[in-house]
Amino acid sequence: MDEDGGRRFDVWAPECTRVDLRIGGHDRAMRPGAGGWWHLRVPGARPGDDYAFVLDGSGEPLPDPRSLRQPRGVHGPSRVYDHADFAWTDTDWRGRALPGCVVYELHIGTFTPEGTFDAAIGRLDHLTGLGADLVQLMPVNAFGGAGHGWGYDGVLWGAVHEPYGGPDGLKRFVDACHRRGLGVLLDVVYNHLGPDGAYLPRFGPYFTGDTAWGPSLNLDGPGSDEVRRYVVDNALGWLRGFHLDGLRLDAVHALHDSRARPLLAELSAEADALAAGLGRPLALIAESDRNDPATVTSRDAGGYGLTAQWCDDIHHALHTALTGEGHGYYADFTAPDALPSALARAFFHDGGYSAFRGRSHGAPVDTARIPGHRFLAYLQNHDQIGNRAAGDRMAATVPRGLLACGAALVLCSPYTPMVFMGEEWAASTPWPFFASFTDPGLAEGVRAGRRREFASHGWDGSGVPDPLDPRTRERAVLCWDERESPPHREILETYRALVALRRARPELADPRLDRFRVDAEPDGRVLVLHRGRLRVACNLRAEAAEIGLDPPAGRVLLCSAAAEADGARLRLPAESFAVVETAEPPGEPASRAARHARRG
């Protein structure tokens, strides 16, 4: 805003011969500038004023591609919004570095019945009680429809979905999280544009070609300099203006970029520079299907320099071992060594053959150089539940004992553990795909597209909930009351105990993969994770198992059933886990305190 209360409006529209700004009921001609930019200073314009752009005299008002607020949805005018008008209380917040953290993924629209930021604030104490460190929000940018949706069909990347509470609602949520010691990550989608309200291509060459979900971002063709700057500015705007602690970058493998300096490396450099200026860490976490260690390798070592990436191989191996499913992409993970291998090296597909893809896939992780915290491990997430035909959670079919084993393998691993909302109490509510598009043709296209996607993965598409039926979203809302009744209460206690033990024993959060070992029986159903002096033993069999320990067991720190430790033997009941502290090797003191006492 100018000193006299005016404001300058700018828009990139390089292929237009005329651009007008519609504000206060009048169209005003904008002046062309360098590089395809158009500018106009409007005296007296202030926050709360609605405006839009009219291209080439069409008479049709279009929202600002860099809009910060869309009070009337993605088809309505933009509204002038000033970040300086919000009164933050988090001036002492110094951020959360990713190593050692537990991430909690949630969707604002189904976390509470109200589906708003303010309602979600009322449940934050549950997250601190669980022991979470970082909240990862599914996308909250503006998307088509007046109701709820997953958020991956966003079309205005800088505006906050108004039904959730708009930009101030998001800021209140972030501020409340910071007061409780929780950092906040936001899921952002740069790989495609949603189908409803996709006006961006009318302004310039933002897209070229297609992805599986929509038009592909123009990152290396003519005009791509400004497109890349648009993405970088948007990412920095979320981090700076909303005090976010990081971003989760959706499906970066769909970013087609042939430049010598990839967009991901450019993003990580800009985020590092901003973090230095803010004096707090900022994380960029990728979702990538490439299994390419370069994603999380530092820029000075030739990588992209992202903080971390989601690790689907660990999820797929866990899911297959716990559910017995082997269709679709799970077929690659039915071998007995899939789970121990994925746990040991992050990528199960690290250059070998993938039957699902019909080709070799991935590259090996250098476990001596890349720490485990750079990979997020999870038992469930929004994709792996919501992309099932019925949106059924693992708790719908997997026994409680195996759920506990899965939680132990994730929370006691050297990777960054992530929990999907409600998983920690084995929520009974499904979480299927849902949207709120109002155009009948678009709605039917979404229904048909979901059926095709299920068929391509070998799933039966019959009985799929209608994603456009409001009741589909309503059934996905968490039922918070069930936390207090069995068996949900017992599962929640297990999660809390595992996170607390991870806090109390640093070796459980140690990210060094070169100090991590996984032993497994030939059938892959009995596993032991080596975590310093601790052993995390899991028996996935339907009968009891005996496990040899070397050094012998000292004591059982935590177990999901009555484990018996007798020297070098540990007896685990069926479908159970135990965390055991082994005896100190002869001649070594039991603790740092003992060493200090002996020196004295």
Write out pLDDT tens, residues 513-536. 999 999 999 999 999 999 999 999
Query: What's the confidence (pLDDT) of residue 600?
Result: 31
Q: What is the pTM of this model?
A: 0.94
Cα Rg, the chain, nearest whole Å: 25
Split at pLDDT 50, 70, 90, the class of 460 is low
Bind-site residues for substrate: 248-253, 312-316, 382-387
For the chain, the structural domain boundaries read: 7-62, 103-502
The mean per-residue pLDDT over the stretch 215-240 comes to: 96
Task: Annotate 348-380 with b (16+ C-beta within 10 A) or e (fewer).
Answer: bbbeeebebeeeebbeebebeebbbbbbbbbbb
Helix residue ranges per DSSP H, 293-370: 312-323, 338-345
Split at pLDDT 50, 70, 90, the class of 356 is very high
Query: What's the confidence (pLDDT) of residue 24?
Result: 95
The mean per-residue pLDDT over the stretch 216-236 comes to: 97
Share of the chain above pLDDT 90, in %: 87
Angstrom distance (rounded) from CA 313 to CA 298: 22
Angstrom distance (rounded) from CA 400 to CA 380: 15
Helix (H) or strand (E) holding 238, with range, is helix 224-241
pLDDT at 457 over 60: no
Query: What count of other Cβ atoms lies within 10 Å of the Cβ of residue 282?
Result: 27
Query: What's the confidence (pLDDT) of residue 440?
Result: 76
Query: What's the confidence (pLDDT) of residue 598?
Result: 31
Tell me if 466 sits within 8 A of 448, measured CB to CB. Answer: no
Query: What's the confidence (pLDDT) of residue 117?
Result: 98
Split at pLDDT 50, 70, 90, the class of 451 is low
Bind-site residues: 248-253, 312-316, 382-387
The mean per-residue pLDDT over the stretch 216-234 comes to: 97
Split at pLDDT 50, 70, 90, the class of 1 is low
- Which backbone phi and psi does 36 adopt, to 5 degrees? 85, 10
Q: What is the pLDDT of residues 133-190, one digit of tens each?
A: 999 999 999 999 878 999 999 999 999 999 999 999 999 999 999 999 999 999 999 9
Positions marked active-site: 250, 287
DSSP string of 103-130? EEEE-HHHHSSS-SHHHHHTTHHHHHHH
DSSP string of 465-496? --TTSHHHHHHHS--GGGGGSTTHHHHHHHHH
Share of the chain above pLDDT 70, in %: 94
Q: 302: alpha, beta or left, given left = phi > 0 and alpha = psi -120 to 50?
A: left
Split at pLDDT 50, 70, 90, the class of 567 is confident
Angstrom distance (rounded) from CA 462 to CA 377: 31
- CA-nearest of 165, 151, 65 to 115 is 165
Q: Which residue has 């992050």 as its token pair?
A: 346
Angstrom distance (rounded) from CA 227 to CA 477: 37
**Prior bond of 551 cis (ω within 30°):** yes
The mean per-residue pLDDT over the stretch 408-430 comes to: 98
Query: What's the confidence (pLDDT) of residue 445?
Result: 72
Query: What's the confidence (pLDDT) of residue 462?
Result: 62
pLDDT at 593 over 70: no
Q: What is the pLDDT of residues 6-49, one digit of tens each?
A: 899 999 999 999 999 999 999 999 999 999 999 999 999 999 99
Angstrom distance (rounded) from CA 285 to CA 157: 18
Work out the angle at residue 419's Cα, subtended by the Cα atoms of residues 413 and 420, and round it to the nearest 5 degrees.
Answer: 150
Tell me if 369 sits within 8 A of 409, measured CB to CB. Answer: no
Q: Please state which of the ranges 302-316, 484-498, 575-589 shows the lowest mean pLDDT.
A: 575-589
User: Which class would CATH give 103-502?
Assistant: alpha beta
CATH superfamily for domain 7-62: Immunoglobulins (2.60.40.10)
The mean per-residue pLDDT over the stretch 501-518 comes to: 97
pLDDT at 447 over 90: no
Query: What's the confidence (pLDDT) of residue 3?
Result: 58
Q: Specify the amino acid at residue 61.
A: P
Residue 564, exposed/middle/buried by CB under 10 A (0-12, 13-18, 19+)?
middle
Q: Which residue has 């409340």 as its token pair?
A: 176
The mean per-residue pLDDT over the stretch 343-370 comes to: 97
